[in-house]
Amino acid sequence: MFFMPGGHKDHGLPHNPFKSLVAPRPIGWITTLDEAGVINLAPYSFFNAVSDQPPIVFFAPNGPTRRDGVKDSQANAKATGEFVCNIVSLDLKDAMNATSAPVGPEVDESQLAGLEMIPSKIVAPPRVAASPVHLECKTMQTLELPCTTEGMSNFVVFGEVVGIHIDESVINDKGLVDVTRYKPLARLGYMDYSAVTEVFSLKRPE
């Protein structure tokens, strides 16, 4: 089949397949603080790393706008200049999902999900204690991208990773991170998810 996105239901399928095609997508579980110090925690699967010198990650808030036009994570990351990306292990899937509830900025989603939070080392937003990996980030830049649907918006928030925490239990005896020890959760399309449970290596051509 072939379709050109942009027309309403032009794919002829019951659901838009786009997000099931660019998959799996890692999930950035973003902690921020608002200016009053209230914790905000939300998952973003339009999330990835874009560079490693320095390490830079992004998350992309989009969809129906809230709070003066932007989602809480974006508003806080811009106002305070900081966020933390917690990596979601398979066993945190339900807690992660609970923190995606569309609640107001006064609600601390980490409490909704019953999660213990621990202090970061460099930035003020705290970390999800149970996450095996945390990336402490300083907000670098927010881009607004065109959006084709009225009442919705598309943004990308970039952050420089200034501190990295790795739980010792996921580092093997060769000093390598073994992702199969925590099984990072990834988003597919529809309501589907996947987790990394197997790894193989390939050598690049000389």
Ligand X SMILES: Cc1cc2nc3c(=O)[nH]c(=O)nc-3n(C[C@H](O)[C@H](O)[C@H](O)COP(=O)(O)O)c2cc1C
Q: Which residues bind ligand X (CB under 6 A)?
A: 27, 40, 42-46, 60-63, 71-73, 97, 100, 102, 187
Contact of 157 with 139, CB cutoff 8 Å: yes
Return the number of the residue (61 or 132) whose C-beta is nearest ligand X: 61
The continuous run of DSSP H or E covering 80 comes out as: helix 72-80
Place of tokens 């966020």: 83
State in angstroms the smallest separation of the CB of 112 from ligand X.
Answer: 11
Return the number of the residue (75 or 179) whose C-beta is nearest ligand X: 75
Return the number of the residue (12 or 96) whose C-beta is nearest ligand X: 96
State in angstroms the smallest separation of the CB of 149 from ligand X.
Answer: 13
Provide the strand spans (E) within 34-132: 39-44, 47-52, 55-59, 62-64, 82-87, 117-118, 127-128
State in angstroms the smallest separation of the CB of 74 from ligand X.
Answer: 7
State in angstroms the smallest separation of the CB of 92 from ligand X.
Answer: 11
Return the number of the residue (22 or 171) whose C-beta is nearest ligand X: 22
Per-residue b/e over 49-66, b at no fewer than 16 CB within 10 Å?
eeeeeeebbbbbbbeebb
